[in-house]
A and B are shown apart, each in its own frame.
Chain A
């Protein structure tokens, strides 16, 4: 049951990574996708990241009731959970909804209106032309968005902690700077690159094999988000198990 779509997915990826017909056209498309996926998602990522950091700080402070535990530990917990899990994973889930559904419906609409057939007839490798720029654009931009997310999330935590009195500014900064393991950043970047690939390739796959009409485009779009989210969480566990 899973092998047939998996095989189709792998064959699609093989076609995606064929040598492009003309590099300069692909380069232009990559910049276009970087703008659409990256710049177009800064707003939503900024908003969710700030609140994510704020909630993490307040809830961590709520759970640390013992006088034996220093308050500065809140800063450390917010830092590590943000870098290792919350920023890459929650950002990826949100982007699967925003970017993934857009990719799937865009390619799906092109399929049902015969635009993909038109590309094929012209002798253009349609998976390469339509999907490769999206994958490259996302793999470049989503890690950058995750870095922005980490910074804003920790800032949000700092603001919420100090404003609510849950932790003092000094304690929070002390926690942030104590016991930092740089490898967590590597794990964060590995996750974000992997998630970027999953979001774009899975959504493009769902769109590319759409058949029917407007209703099926909607179904493909929904399926793209669902499958991307499940794949992201599975990959998240896999990376954590392998790297940590």
Chain B
């Protein structure tokens, strides 16, 4: 379980996170939703240590990440997998080298074993045989899937996903959501997904927190979201006429 307590973050004059607390359970798809500039990605980056929170703590199964030194943080980071919004694949490496990279860095397995793991991860994301392609040769959806394969290559306990559907068509978005959902359930990992994609919210949002202007405005599940009376949440979730019509039918 990951628990965040009273996270505050400012950038100069800009007060981005105003005391956010939440719990993210293993085996659930934990979604952080909110409009642009609400602090979703900043919160995610504070959780993984890419930003230092000004105040508050991030507990990974009781271990306070914000109080750890460099070496202790590295031990936790070996348990973390992350899919970035831009996929963040290493341009100069092939798909195989990208996925094998963390294995090369942190394990002493023979190359045969590492290759076996790479092929397993590629198979898991339905990209068998794409080992020798470079990121520039992949479509947006394929890049995301390679990103997921790299994130799970070290068998992480915690998976962070930043805007998995940005720039993807609806069909590919569903493929990525399903993949995240399957991996979370199969390996019983703590998955935290930052998104503003309503299909994701309705499809895989077992546990959702809604951020509004740097504060946690609402917490619940996709089943509860349609019946919420929170105005800011409703304005965000049911912004389009299509979703408004869908809500009326519920």
List the interface of chain A (C-beta within 8 A of B): 21-22, 25, 109, 113-115, 117-118, 120-124
Contact = CB atoms under 8 A, between A and B. Distances in A.
Contacts of B245: none
A209 to B, nearest CB: 14
Given A113-B86, A115-B91, A117-B84, A123 B78 contact: yes
B129 interface: no
The 8 A-B pairs with the shortest beta carbon distances in the complex, nearest first, are A123-B77, A114-B88, A118-B88, A123-B74, A121-B82, A114-B84, A123-B78, A122-B102
A134 to B, nearest CB: 14
Given A118-B82, A121-B50, A123-B78, A25 B91 contact: no
Contacts of A113: 86, 88, 91
B48 A121 contact: yes
Contacts of A122: 77-78, 101-102, 105-106, 154
22 contacts: A21-B105, A22-B105, A109-B91, A113-B86, A113-B88, A113-B91, A115-B88, A117-B88, A118-B84, A118-B88, A118-B90, A120-B49, A120-B77, A121-B48, A121-B50, A121-B77, A121-B80, A122-B77, A122-B101, A123-B74, A123-B105, A123-B106
A138 B90 CA distance: 23
A114 B104 CA distance: 20
Nearest to B80: A121
Contacts of B86: 113-114
B85 interface: yes
Interface in B59-94: 73-75, 77-78, 80-82, 84-86, 88-91
A117 B82 CA distance: 10
Nearest to B98: A118
Contacts of A120: 49-50, 77
A237 B86 CA distance: 45
Contacts of A22: 104-105
B102 A117 contact: no
Given A117-B50, A122-B102, A123-B77, 5 more contacts: A120-B50, A121-B48, A121-B50, A121-B81, A123-B106
A87 B90 CA distance: 36
A87 to B, nearest CB: 32
Q: Which of B48, B73, B84, B88 has the most CB of A within 10 A?
A: B88
B179 to A, nearest CB: 19
A123 B105 CA distance: 9
